[in-house]
Every structure is written in structure tokens, then in C-alpha cells.
Amino acid sequence: MKTKGEAFAGLSVAMVTPFSGGEVEYDLFREQIEFQIASGTNCLCPVGTTGESPTLSHEEQERVIGFVVETVAGRTKVMPGTGSNSTAEALRLTKSAEKAGADAALQVAPYYNKPTQQGFYEHFKRLAEETSLPQCIYNIPGRTGKNIEPETIIRLAELENIALVKEATGSLDQASQIISATNLTVLSGDDSLTLPLMAIGGRGVVSVVGNIVPRDVLSLVAAVEKGDLAEARRWHHKLFPLCRDMLGLATNPIPIKAAMKLMGRDPGELRLPMTPLEGVDITRLRKSLESYGLL
């Protein structure tokens, strides 16, 4: 069945932001973009959680979004993170992304200030009504401190520009409630739950592990879409240890940047307060990559 954000079904990759000497390293960024396009990735998501958006200034975010849109040049979709815990700032960033030529906007739930459900509704409503971009509600209470309840998302689904949900609550009950009551395109926000979420009607994933194995994630998504459950299970079990380590060894994006570096794909530096993976965790990550066949 067609869903509201159908154009964004499949694999979206939550891109890392490469830094060098404290600045964004655009040559490395270009290499990442070309790698993803060559792999067939459906959508790129810069300046999200994986892109260390909390440590980017708003001016840097705008420059990165403009750079990604310009480099992609229409060859795939671009859905940057433009959310904020300030509605006015989220609106300004979203309008800037719209002007730059982005295809949609990834809107994290307002964090730290913990709005009421009505506050969430009014926040996303304003973004949907004052910009023309399709909006993807990014619900990740583990980071933001508060859940956007399914009843609130169901209300928001009635608005024309609310098209997608990046579902990172870990609750299949919540996802089921949203999928059964709306025609929103629901994407997994947790790599290890891509298959379970798609099995109940999700349409893909905004992936961290897609930074290193996008073709494999695409194979999993394609198997589910074709109804080949055995093939989908095979890919799920192959990918699972890697997905677990990318989010389990340390806070994202520390492990994915370490993995890229071990594989010889320079991800650039982390920006404080993020610090590099070290010690026993590097050893565990290396073993995971070896087991997968990436080293």
C-alpha cells in the first residue's frame, strides 16, 4: 500500500560529519556522498544525530546542507536534520534547507525542555504549515527525554506536510499503532529493528550501519519488500552483530567513525565532547568487522 512519504521508502543513511582540525572536512564529505550514491542509497540524511549536529553551529549546519544538496545534484534524495528544541530555530533551519533544495526535513522532537503532547503538536504543526517540505518526525526519547505519544503523531498525520516518522522508540507496539491508524511512511531509526518494523508495515530505515555496508542494508529492505522472509531473515542475522556494535559499544557516532577508520575510509575526527573509541572496545569492534568480512 502506498504511504504518504513513499518517495523516501528504502534506505536513508544517517551520514557522519567529517572534521579535521575542528572544521568540517568537505573533501572527505564528498567522498562519502559519492560512495553512497554509487551504492544505490535512496536518501542521504546529513546533520542528524550521527552527523554530530549538537556540536555544529547553525551556520555550519546550513553550509553542510547546502554542500550535500549541491554535491548530490538530484542523484538521490536529501533529508537533512533541521530540528531544534526551539521552534523558531527549527523553522529557520528548515526554511534554509528548503531554499537550498533539500527534499524533506528530519525533525527531532524538541529535546531537554520536554514539551507537553500539545506542545509537540503545535511545534510540528508550525513547521508543516510554514514550509513546503515533507516533514519526518524523529521520535527518539532516549536522547530527547520525552516520547511523542502515538496519539499525537496520529493527529499530526492529518496535516498535509507531515509525511514520515523516524521511529526510534524501540516499541513495536507504538509503531503498530501509528502504522495501523495513518498512512505515514514509517522508517526504522534503529538498524537492528529494521526487519521487525518492516514486517508490521514500516517502509525502510534511517541507517547508521549504512555508512559502511549500504548495499547489504538495501538487500535486507528489498527482501522484505519482495516478501522473501527467508532472505530477509538471512540479512537480518548477518547484519545484527554489526548493528548492535554500532550503537552498543559507545554513543553514536563514536563506533561508526571508528569502524570507517579501521576499514580505511577516513571519517575525519570527532568533535568534543565526543571522544574516540579505545581499548577493549576497539578490539571488540575489530573482531566484529573481521567476523562480518569487512577486514
Residue 281 covered by a domain: no
C-alpha cell at 158: 492529518
Can you spell out the DSSP letters for 218-272?
Answer: HHHHHHHHHT-HHHHHHHHHHHHHHHHHHHHSSSTTHHHHHHHHHTT----B--T
User: Of these residues, 4, 77, 125, 138, which one is catalytic?
Assistant: 138
pLDDT of residue 208: 98
∠ at Cα 22 (16, 27), nearest 5°? 55
β-strand partners of 78: 44
**CATH code assigned at 204:** 3.20.20.70
The angle formed by the CA atoms of residues 63, 119 and 77, to the nearest 5 degrees, is: 35
Helical segments of the chain, H only:
26-39, 58-72, 87-100, 117-130, 141-144, 150-156, 172-181, 194-199, 214-226, 229-248, 254-262, 280-292
Q: Report pLDDT for 1.
A: 72
- Does residue 235 fall inside a structural domain? no
SS3 assignment, position 293: coil
| CA distance linking residue 272 with residue 149, whole number of Å | 32
- How far apart CA 138 and CA 169 sit, in angstroms, is 10
**Hey, what's the cell of 106?**
528530519
Respond yes or no: is residue 125 known to be catalytic: no
Amino acid at residue number 170: G
Alpha-carbon 218 to chain mean position: 15
Percent of the chain with pLDDT over 70: 100
pLDDT for res 172: 97
226 assigned to active site:
no
Helix (H, G, I), strand (E, B) or coil at 173: helix
The answer to whether residue 30 is domain-embedded is yes
Q: What is the structure's pLDDT at 71?
A: 98
In a domain, 155, yes or no: yes
- Burial of 11 from C-beta contacts in 10 A (0-12 / 13-18 / 19+): buried
Number of independent structural domains in the chain: 1
C-alpha distances out from residue 192 to 162, 195, 196, 201, Å: 25, 8, 9, 16
Tell me the HSE value of 148 on the side-chain side, using a 13 A CA sphere.
30
How is residue 273 written as a grid cell? 565532547
The segments of the chain whose pLDDT lies below 50 read: none
Residue 245: inside a domain: no
On whether residue 191 sits in a domain, the answer given is yes
In a domain, 292, yes or no: no
- Does 82 map to a domain? yes
Q: Residue 259: which of 272, 242, 275 has the closest Cα?
A: 242
Alpha helices in 164-228 (DSSP H): 172-181, 194-199, 214-226
Catalytic residue among 4, 125, 146, 166: 166
Residue pLDDT, tens place only, 44-100:
999 999 999 999 999 999 999 999 999 999 999 999 999 999 999 999 999 999 999
pLDDT of residue 203: 98
Give the SS3 label for residue 48.
Answer: coil
Range of the domain at 165: 7-228
